[in-house]
Amino acid sequence: MPAAPQDFKDALGRFPSGVTVVTLNTEDGPHGMTASAFCSLSLDPPLVLVCVKKGNRTHGLLEAASGFAVNILGEEQSTHSNRFAGWPPEGEGPWDNVSHTPAEVSGAPMLDGALASLDCTVYGSRDGGDHTIFLGQVENTVLRGDSDNPRPLLYYRGYRGLGETLG
């Protein structure tokens, strides 16, 4: 018998994760979604995966897309995370006051100020229960920020910075 949904959520809530915004172009303009269910998959070819809940607007858009970008947020970008999770600042839309540059291959918005952005073509998808696992082949990367000391945005029972590196 599988774990109870709330017990499963509570257990996973004890696992810190980085915060990303997955972006793509649509007929209606740019679209973005905050995602913590993201990870690297393969070096050869360079693949990443992102998990998106079925029925979510982004899910349908990714099914129809040929490419997308994954933007890895810095610790000062919690407002971007909130904005693309559906909570933009009062009186603003998701893309108001968000500077971005089109990705070279996919054309998806790459968020200015993100620590890194991955320009991906869709490599495939797999069923993942109530989510779909979207696979992206990384065609291009853009690195920003202090390459010697990047400061990622983390989520662990709320937003957090990296803190001190343990020896």
Between residues 23 and 151, the one the model is more confident about = 23
More confident residue, 7 or 149: 7
Q: What is the mean pLDDT of residues 120-126?
A: 98
Percent of the chain topping pLDDT 70 = 94
Better pLDDT: 32 or 150: 32
| pLDDT of 14 strictly over 70 | yes
- Domains in the chain (CATH in brackets) are 19-150 (2.30.110.10)
pLDDT surpassing 60 at residue 166:
no
The pLDDT-based confidence of 126 (bands split at 50, 70, 90) is very high
Mean pLDDT computed over 30-39: 95
Mean pLDDT (whole number) for 135-147: 89
H helices within the chain, ranges in order?
5-12, 57-64, 78-84
pLDDT in tens, 65-116: 999 999 999 988 999 999 999 999 999 999 999 999 999 999 999 999 999 9
pLDDT at 165: 47
The amino acid occupying position 101 is T
Helix H segments across 65-103? 78-84
- Of 149 and 142, more confident: 142
Asked if 106 contacts 68 with a C-beta cutoff of 8 angstroms, the reply is: yes
Is the pTM higher than 0.95? The answer reads: no
CA dist 36 and 18 (Å) reads 6
Distance of alpha carbon 20 from alpha carbon 33, whole angstroms = 8
